[in-house]
Structure 1
Amino acid sequence: MKYLVHIGYPKAASTWLQTHLFSGTIPSMRPLLASGKKNRSYVKSGGGMFYDHDDFGCFLNVFNFNAVDVRKKIKSLTDPAAQVTVLSNEGWCGHPFAGGVTGKAFSDRIYAVLPEATILIIVRNQLDMIVSAYLHFLTQEGGNLTLDEFIRPVKWFHRPSFTLSHLNYMNVIRYYDELFGRDRVVVVPFELITKSTESFVEPIFAALDLTAPESFSSRPENARNVSHAIAISLMPRLNSGHPAVQAAFESGGKLLSGRFVKRRKVEMIRFLDGVLGEYYKEDNRKLQERTGYDLESLKYVV
């Protein structure tokens, strides 16, 4: 039995993968039995598996994880007819709003439970990733920081928050290479999906010795209401996260033209480019060497 474990990153086609590849629509690639989310089309197969929890329903302390029990549970939920069983949670690389601090703990847990697994990591050019994460932060987390404040947290010692170094992808990739072996760690740039879904999924199927279907939906999944987030970004201090406040910003966002929304996002990218400069350049060069993709053509800083 082969296992594929998709660990992220967030904001990098996770919902698309969970809808079109990991939901059971492809006979050769199946989610765990009884997986899924009510009233949603996508399947976060085994999404809570490596968190584990006690009889009271609380997540276990990091020191109490029982790899043997979790492996037994995964085996009991594995479809015997599947050529490949998928587990997927984009948060296993570490949550961006917490600086990815849990990423190493999850990698160790995954290896302890499924050392034979193939790992899938989807990366995305960092400037786009940061803007996407920031807009999500405003709408879904009730964030009230400017973009500049978001990338320069001042209360990190109180609790973890976003950190730029979390998007130095080679830190995560290198560690998974050491654990699972480079030939079982598949790294795919998110940007390929904008060119063709076939070029995006081909390396995933190739790594698993599976034949990819001839075509996939190119429809984006779980797309955020960007105008809503852009409206908040204009006056972030007024954002309390309260539903009434969010509703007001959402109504205001509807008044913004599509041209203004696009221009605002471009301004954010330019701001980050000016502030960060070559911050990611060295890591991206190593990423380009590791993956073999021309990342500069995909707008990575190389």
Structure 2
Amino acid sequence: MQRHLFIARNGYGKALATKPAHFALIYPDSFCISDWSEARSMFDFDLGDKVPVISLEVLVGNPLTGGENGEGNLHRLSRVAPEARILLVIREQQAMLRSIYKTLVNFGSPLSIQTLLDNDLTGTVPAFSLSYLYYDRIIAAYRHVFGEDSVLVLPMELLQENPDAFVQSINTFSGIDSERYPPHANPNVRENVNRSLLDLEVKRLYNRFIARTRLSPGGFYKPTMIGNSGNLHIPAPAAVHRAMERRFADKVAAMTAGHYEQSNAATRELTGLDLARWGYALPA
């Protein structure tokens, strides 16, 4: 959405470029901002007839650390832009975990999916938690701070099923003039195309045994950019990829059984979304 929806020809504009916005809201130096009007001045909320946008995927928290910084991000955002309207896009948890696993491995995680989801290793460093995907908690927190009418929740599945309806919902919520900027989405344009689990396993082993990073300091090579290192494409028959995906999905389903039903029921109650239609786990 950052590259294809929230752009000038659709009536939107960036209040601040992604990288500086990331460091202003998500990773500012501790205790360095005492006057939040100064922080607000970093953003340009006066874009004429364009709707200013702050779009950051980890505003709800870093998945690597179980979203432990998410609440701090929420309150920083509320100080910078108390009048903001909030778009939250959710996704069925098992599909989301496949995406999160890919992201974490790409950025240096040496953990298998089993260890990631059931990390019983000793230590007090924040780690991924299944509660990161309790959407009802996030929705309730943002509504409490910004107001119920200022928070729109949409399922990613709607984007896949009916892209124009998804975009129209966002435009209406944002106050975009649909006659001047007709809603249009191209479902054939994809960002962050999925990598095969075989390729991810090679990258994970690279992270564990070769790369020396903050996530895995035991390696012998210090890459400049971990996201660009250790990426190999391993040719394999389609049957191998299908088998690996099936095994991965079965493992995630078994390890998350019973974790999300109540949260999804609360999310359905908060939003009115028909989550059963898109395969979200719900109480029997």
TM-score after normalising by structure 1:
0.78
Query: How far apart are the structure 1 equivalents of 2:154 and 2:15?
Result: 23
Between the two proteins, the alignment pairs up a number of residues equal to 267
Partner of residue 217 from structure 1, selected from 186, 194, 200: 186
Partner of residue 254 from structure 2, selected from 261, 270, 274: 274
**Counterpart position of 2:99:** 132
Q: Percent identity among equivalent residues?
A: 24
Matching of residue 181 in structure 1 with residue 152 in structure 2: no
CA offsets 1:121-143 (integer angstroms, 9 cap, x no match):
111111111122112222321x2
Q: 1:110 to 1:235 in 2, by over 3 A?
A: closer
- 1:247 CA drift (Å): 9.0
**Counterpart position of 2:271:** 291
> What pairs up with 1:27-38 in 2 under 5 angstroms?
28-32=11-15, 35=17
Query: Residue 49 of structure 1 aligns to a residue in which SS?
Result: helix
> What pairs up with 1:193-272 in 2 under 5 angstroms?
193-210=159-176, 211=178, 213-218=182-187, 219-226=189-196, 227-232=198-203, 238=209, 240=211, 250-251=231-232, 253-272=233-252
- 1:224 CA drift (Å): 4.1
Query: Residue 87 of structure 2 aligns to a residue in which SS?
Result: strand
Q: 1:249 to 1:206 in 2, by over 3 A?
A: same
Query: How far apart are the structure 2 equivalents of 1:117 and 1:248?
Result: 38
Query: How far apart are the structure 2 equivalents of 1:279 and 1:51?
Result: 28
Matching of residue 80 in structure 1 with residue 47 in structure 2: yes
**Counterpart position of 2:65:** 98
**Counterpart position of 2:216:** none
Query: How far apart are the structure 1 equivalents of 2:271 and 2:242?
Result: 31
Contact 1:31 1:45 in 2 (8 A): no
| Structure 1 spans left out of the alignment, 5+ residues | 1-16, 37-43, 53-58
Matching of residue 300 in structure 1 with residue 280 in structure 2: yes
Contact 2:60 2:70 in 1 (8 A): yes
Q: RMSD between aligned alpha carbons?
A: 2.9
**Counterpart position of 1:47:** 22
TM-score after normalising by structure 2:
0.82
- 1:286 CA drift (Å): 1.1
Query: How far apart are the structure 2 equivalents of 1:154 and 1:274?
Result: 17
CA offsets 1:174-201 (integer angstroms, 9 cap, x no match):
0111111111001111111211321222
Matching of residue 20 in structure 1 with residue 21 in structure 2: no
- 1:301 CA drift (Å): 0.5
| Structure 2 spans left out of the alignment, 5+ residues | 213-220
**Counterpart position of 1:149:** 115
CA offsets 1:31-72 (integer angstroms, 9 cap, x no match):
126x35xxxxxxx683333247xxxxxx31057453111112
Query: How far apart are the structure 2 equivalents of 1:177 and 1:254?
Result: 45
Query: Residue 206 of structure 1 aligns to a residue in which SS?
Result: helix
Query: How far apart are the structure 2 equivalents of 1:207 and 1:114?
Result: 17
Query: How far apart are the structure 1 equivalents of 2:192 and 2:9?
Result: 18
- 1:236 CA drift (Å): 8.1
Query: Residue 236 of structure 2 aligns to a residue in which SS?
Result: coil
Query: How far apart are the structure 2 equivalents of 1:167 and 1:137?
Result: 15
Q: 1:192 to 1:248 in 2, by over 3 A?
A: same
Q: 1:47 to 1:139 in 2, by over 3 A?
A: closer
Contact 1:151 1:163 in 2 (8 A): yes
- 1:83 CA drift (Å): 3.8
- 1:170 CA drift (Å): 1.0
Which residue identity does 2:67 align to in structure 1? G
Query: Residue 54 of structure 2 aligns to a residue in which SS?
Result: strand
- 1:233 CA drift (Å): 6.2
